[in-house]
Structure 1
């Protein structure tokens, strides 16, 4: 065989990061080439490619990592400088092959392989002129396009944390379908009507053409089942009837204005795909795909439409479950931290917040006050008027106190009729003023069913080395003195 193939010397470039593998390849296969260069890194191989195009580029994938090296190796395959590419692919990591083939055609040998066997494989390819991998057939191109769309749609599904964001990502994925110029998703909302959840379109080439807005085209973005075009636009038909709608010429819909508007935006065909519900009943919504040219779809493409609709259903259900989960978590958090009767912080949460405020006061050297109060003779209210009136009194006292407090203050129900106020950035004197305002406001507030109530209060400021427990003991002692002093008054805790 001639040492020249099409005027190019039978030269080679071998790439692998391991020195011993480069040495072994040179010893086993060097004689097959007029000249063999080796590279230990991708950048070095790219420089050698630029300096002189080889007859064949051999990429030994052993010790390369797809997550790290794929983009750079892919660029190497893409630039190749006209040279055929042979990939030596470990049998344990065959996902290299489709990933690299996306950058350009290549041949491959599965390794490990003995050096003599590897030399035989390479010699056979060189003797055959290293015929390039055949160009993809239309069927293969069709399959590749479908797989790309499906992969993009699945990625959107992985991020289905919110229906609107999922819809936007899915529509962007649908735009990768060859020929699609606009994609949209409709969803059946809680009112049992249809709304436009998301849409995405490509920029049109015509000068002065504006992007297509489906809400403007359909005359509304919500209550679309009441739209006058519900019998003509495939996306609405699919959502209402649960069947795929394929409009291969806008005129066939029988709506001249709709056809004219679609043609004005470069749309020649529209497909509506129903998004199936989780069980029996109306569809969950629909997908709308608009094409810039008329297509005759293959069986695989029509099946792919169904797959995409199923993915949309999974994504919407996932988003719904996420929303329900967040609502449930919020409810559980509320139950765990708030008092059910008054809606203020419960004792356990109050203790946690108190510790946080003590740490903050220590760190920034700012004062912290604690106010404790309870309703005077509360047992008499329950005994005289009943527990429902007692509950009203507790809620009214809590509401009155909360209305007077600052946003940084925390009201805590620490016991039956006992409350605390955690007051950051508040000294003992300011705490006394705050307590007096609370006392006067609650005394003046009318309580349905029992006229008025009064409260007794204790105030304490956090000491420099004091713990939360010690602070609580001092403020409760001050509250007890207020009770002994005749109630409806404020006492300052002793240091």
Structure 2
């Protein structure tokens, strides 16, 4: 074939790349393959040139383009081409461009880098083959595309596994993309009880999504007469979703009348349901008494035979549901474990108040807040007078009761913003935000009176000595602690059971 024949076939072309050397290189290598060749440095210039004079072929050279910056503009160029051909020159190191551009329209592509003679040969081969408009998808292609979309949506639902309900809702919504499905639901077994109905098993309708709105949308809770304790339902032997959850085997009802339950069949037909499929969700672990974690239930508006590949795909979706539920369970267990570890790391085991290390952290936080907003901050330190005598006279168990009583009494008087800290054996602190020295003295006196009046099972009443200090303008947490402890020591020397204000 001569170059002239190639030019007549190719007609005009527009080459787009931001680098002048690459535009010049493409012109040298390929200009004589086209009747006319124009170049543009970006999507904006290319769009303007195409408005003035359309091009039969658009060539997008992605080298030097940034997908995060340029995808939207180049995608619009592709979308505007309709059935006109687009040839993409894509570096092999950035192949994610291809599906991103394909989402905007049909493209052909050549993967680079290529030497000039290789590029010319590749472009010439495309011109020889021709750029026929993309064929409309036939039934098989359309169904394949729909099934791939279901799989993608189901995988996206896995992102919600930190919320079991959110995952179930997302998966049911994804299953509506399966050809012919008008309703999708997930049933889940609760941990309590065994799977058998007589053993007290509890199956619940966890999530459902249907096409249509209002009366046209199926509601399984209404159709089955309940949304919980479904293994006790009289329809458990007839409805595929319940049957699959109970037996661990798929159940396919390809005509509502075959259920043997006229009212159920009538309710299904009223919503246009012609076929119902129940898919067991495999259970986690080797527990043979509980072969399933529940079931997926799909209701169809037509009766079509399933192929082996379709059933395999549906089984994959059930496996994905099981994986998502296990992930959600692990997330819940991890959150509970983290909460327990946090509690052990921050709370005093005996009294349940903040421990010393956590108290120091909270004190630094409150100091920063007080500095930022120019608010007063007070620190109260107190300890139990002659606590060793209590342990010696009544024993350590009674001493533990005394510590818990003091903590409970103090906590009952404090505001929600105050923090009670056990800083030592019988030593406590109160971090009091938004509190001046005078207000701190008042709070300390209330604590002294309340603790003196508290009844301690197993021993006589006890007293506490207290020191109060207000944070200075440029004072550190360590300096504040030194001053308040000095005030506490003065209260001890003054005879105990009293409050002293720290010196500035």
TM-based fold match above 0.5: yes
Listed one character per residue, the Cα deviations across residues 461-485 of structure 1 (whole Å, up to 9, x for unaligned) are 2233333223223322332333333
SS at match of 1:456: strand
What's the CA shift for 1:108? 3.4
Whether the 8 Å CA contact 1:374–1:457 is kept in 2: the answer is yes
Q: 1:215 aligns with which of 221, 226, 229?
A: 221
SS, match of residue 403 in structure 2: helix
Preserved contact between residue 10 and residue 127 of structure 2 (Cα < 8 Å):
no
Which of the residues 243, 262, 274 maps onto 1:237?
A: 243
Aligned match of 2:370: 361
User: Any idea what SS the aligned residue of 2:13 has?
Assistant: strand
* CA distance in structure 1 between the aligned counterparts of 2:259 and 2:67, rounded to whole angstroms: 49
Residue 341 of structure 1: how far off its partner (Å): 0.4
Match of 2:395 in 1: 386
Tell me if structure 1 keeps the 8 A contact 2:83–2:134. Answer: no
Runs of 4+ in 1 over 6 A off after TM superposition: 1-5
Q: Shift of the alpha carbon at 1:179?
A: 2.6
The 5 A counterparts of 1:37-436 are 37-49=38-50, 53-66=54-67, 69-70=70-71, 72-132=73-133, 136=137, 138-192=139-193, 193-203=202-212, 209-281=215-287, 282-436=291-445
CA apart distance, 1:106: 3.9
- Which structure 1 residue ranges, 5 or more long, are not aligned? none
Q: How many residues align?
A: 491
Residue 44 of structure 1: CA displacement?
Answer: 3.9
Aligned mates of 1:69, 1:46 — CA distance in 2 = 14
Does residue 1:471 correspond to 2:480, yes or no? yes
Q: CA deviation at 1:360?
A: 2.5
Report the counterpart of residue 34 of structure 1 in structure 2.
Answer: 35
The corresponding residue for 1:461 is: 470
Aligned residue in 1 for 2:196: none
Deviation at 1:154, TM superposition (A): 1.6
Q: Which blocks of at least 5 consecutive residues in structure 2 are unaligned?
A: 194-201
TM-score normalised according to structure 1 size: 0.89
Residues 366 and 322 from structure 1, CA distance in 2 versus in 1: closer, same or farther, beyond 3 angstroms?
Answer: same
Are the aligned partners of 2:147 and 2:177 in contact in 1 as well (CA < 8 Å)?
Answer: no
Within 1, Cα distance between the matches of 2:45 and 2:93? 26
1:53-89 Cα shifts (integer Å, max 9, x gaps): 5333333333445555555544443432432333333
| In structure 2, C-alpha distance between the alignment counterparts of 1:436 and 1:301, rounded to whole Å | 77
Supply the distance in 2 between the matched residues of 1:165 and 1:199 (Cα, whole angstroms): 11
How far residue 451 of structure 1 moved from its aligned partner, in angstroms, is 4.3
In 1: Cα distance, 2:430 partner to 2:69 partner: 56
TM-score by length of 2: 0.87
Q: Secondary structure at the match of 1:311?
A: helix
Measured on the aligned residues, the alpha-carbon RMSD in Å equals: 2.9
